[in-house]
Amino acid sequence: MFTCLIRYEVNLEKIEEFKEYARTWIALIEKYGGKHHSYFIPGKPGSCFPEAKFSFPGLGIEGPANTAVALFSFQTVEA
């Protein structure tokens, strides 16, 4: 299996446009036999999220608030 991670810098003022972009890519990945695992997008200002905790204290840092990631896989690189 071949899994890709794509990192995006998102304009938080245009989060709805990014969601539409994401929906388009989900459909394309599935159309060509891939499995889309998820998009992970930043919350809106005022969203209530739990505080991030790291498995190894002192080794991690909180990431930027405008970063989104996508994960998707294909069975082979050729696919």
pLDDT in tens, 36-76: 998 888 776 677 766 666 677 777 776 788 889 999 999 98
Assigned domain for 54 exists:
no
Per the structure, how many domains does the chain have? 1
Name the one residue in this structure whose structure tokens are 């998102």: 10
- pLDDT for 52 equals 62
| DSSP sequence for the chain | -EEEEEEEE--GGGHHHHHHHHHHHHHHHHHTT-EEEEEE-PPPTT---PPP--SSTTS--PPPTTEEEEEEEESSS--
Instruction: Give me the domain span that covers residue 15.
Output: 1-44+65-79
Cβ–Cβ contacts within 10 Å for residue 72, how many? Answer: 20
Task: Give mean pLDDT, residues 25-29.
Answer: 93
Structure-token pair, residue 17: 């446009």
pLDDT at position 29 is: 93
* Within-domain flag for 75: yes
Q: Is the pTM of this model over 0.75?
A: no
